[in-house]
């Protein structure tokens, strides 16, 4: 699992990435006497990388304590625990932390948090024992954060709609591959993995596929065909450029709406061309200036037109790869 790659590929999980940053917050020298003493006793028999293992131990104890000592309004404790285990998997891979050590850390922390009013027992999940752990991890992440996915899919104007839809396609493909490989025709060749796949299928159906406003835009898990991922690079850029919430546009300057409509009505085809052919931009600006007298636009209003934004914002680079798989408009 490459956390940094996940952050780049799945930006719609921004609240989860912030949670990961919170999990990974640097250990301070103050207020960790209890954690430090417990971790020292747990880690003392490990001969290699003691310092790093103690650091991870303190972070884990701090996060487990927080889970029982804090009320989270944005997610259930079970979801928080799952995200903690996913974050921990990455730390295990990076620092080769023994499984027995992790079990002891969880057990010790759960013992000292028993007295807390919001006590929640978060147990360690050994992903390394799973078949194809990376794929199962992605499905588990999908389940734990399905409400975020649902919110994005309900809003086609969301900046990350295309990337979120791709993530759904990707997970649907993973499900089909694992299900046909390990659970053919309902036969559980690998009972543990089949149970997880059934849970994923149930969550997918209840939270997403059974919702009419979402169903038309996501695949059925019963379909035998794999989904072709969409190239979102162009879509995300266009949505960003058209975002009405763009703070760079001032709302304080008066704007002559009828005049603007009159100008844009005749120039709309040229606007489409100018996105790709930057050499036409000066000529188009000249045409607009010549027509401003007829439409009673002053210089300040002219500067509010989209073409006066920076070229960096408006012009899509010629380097963008247009070799994407085009799908019907209704499916995007």
DSSP secondary structure letters along 127-142: GGGSSSHHHHHHHHHH
Q: What is the pLDDT of residues 72-102, one digit of tens each?
A: 667 888 899 999 999 999 888 888 888 888 9
CB neighbour class for 38 (10 Å; exposed up to 12, middle 13-18, buried from 19): buried
DSSP string, 94-114: HHT--HHHHHHHHHHHHHHTT
Inter-residue contact 56 to 95 (CB < 8 Å):
yes
Residues 199-246: pLDDT tens digits?
999 999 999 999 998 998 999 998 877 777 777 875 554 444 344 444
Segment 300-319 shows an average pLDDT of: 43
User: Which candidate, 120, 119, 126, places its Cα nearest to that of 140?
Assistant: 126
Pairwise pLDDT comparison (51 vs 106), residue with the higher score: 106
- As given in the structure block, the two tokens for residue 306 are 């989209």
**Res. 302: pLDDT tops 80:** no
Predicted TM-score (pTM) above 0.85: no
List, for residues 114-146, the tens digit of each pLDDT value: 888 788 899 998 887 778 888 999 999 999 999
Confidence of residue 271 (pLDDT cuts 50, 70, 90): very low
For residue 236, what are the CA distances in angstroms to 1, 66, 141? 25, 36, 23
Model pLDDT for residues 2-31, shown as the tens digit of each residue: 788 888 999 999 999 999 999 998 887 655
Report angle CA 283, 288, 293 to the nearest 5 degrees: 140
Give the number of C-alpha atoms closer than 13 A to the C-alpha of residue 284, restricted to the C-beta side: 21
CB atoms within 10 A of CB 59: 21
Q: Looking at per-residue confidence, does 261 or 81 come out higher?
A: 81
State residue 223's pLDDT score.
Answer: 83
| Average confidence score pLDDT of the chain | 73
Sequential DSSP letters for 153-200: HT-TTSTTHHHHHHHHHHHHHHHHHHHHHHSGGG--SSHHHHHHHHHH
Residues in the chain, total = 332
Rounded to an integer, what distance in angstroms lies between the CA atom of residue 140 and that of residue 127?
11
């Amino acid at each position: 699992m490459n956390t940094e790659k996940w952050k780049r590929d799945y930006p719609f999980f921004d609240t989860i990435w912030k949670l990961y940053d919170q999990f990974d917050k640097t250990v301070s020298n103050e207020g960790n006497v209890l954690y430090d003493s417990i971790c020292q006793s747990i880690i003392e028999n490990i001969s290699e990388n003691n310092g790093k293992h103690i650091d991870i131990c303190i972070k884990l104890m701090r996060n487990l304590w927080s889970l029982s000592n804090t009320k989270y309004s944005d997610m259930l404790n079970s979801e928080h625990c799952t995200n903690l285990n996913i974050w921990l998997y990455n730390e295990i891979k990076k620092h080769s932390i023994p499984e027995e050590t992790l079990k002891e850390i969880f057990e010790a922390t759960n013992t000292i948090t028993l007295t807390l009013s919001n006590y929640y027992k978060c147990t360690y999940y050994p992903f390394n024992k799973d078949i194809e752990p990376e794929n199962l991890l992605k499905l588990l992440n999908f389940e734990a954060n399905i409400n975020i996915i649902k919110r994005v899919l309900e809003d086609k104007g969301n900046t990350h709609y295309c990337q979120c839809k791709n993530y759904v396609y990707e997970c649907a493909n993973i499900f089909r591959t694992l299900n046909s490989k390990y659970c053919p025709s309902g036969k559980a060749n690998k009972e543990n993995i089949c149970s997880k796949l059934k849970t994923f299928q149930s969550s997918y159906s209840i939270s997403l596929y059974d919702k009419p406003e979402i169903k038309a835009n996501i695949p059925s898990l019963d379909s035998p065909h794999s989904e072709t991922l969409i190239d979102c690079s162009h879509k995300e850029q266009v949505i960003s450029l058209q975002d009405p919430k763009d703070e760079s546009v001032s709302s304080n300057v008066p704007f002559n709406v009828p005049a603007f409509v009159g100008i844009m009505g005749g120039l709309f085809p040229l606007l489409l061309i100018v996105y790709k052919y930057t050499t036409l931009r000066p000529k188009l600006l000249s045409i607009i200036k010549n027509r401003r007298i007829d439409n009673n636009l002053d210089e300040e209003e002219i500067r509010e037109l989209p073409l006066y934004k920076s070229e960096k914002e408006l012009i899509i680079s010629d380097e963008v790869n247009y070799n994407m798989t085009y799908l019907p408009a209704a499916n995007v």
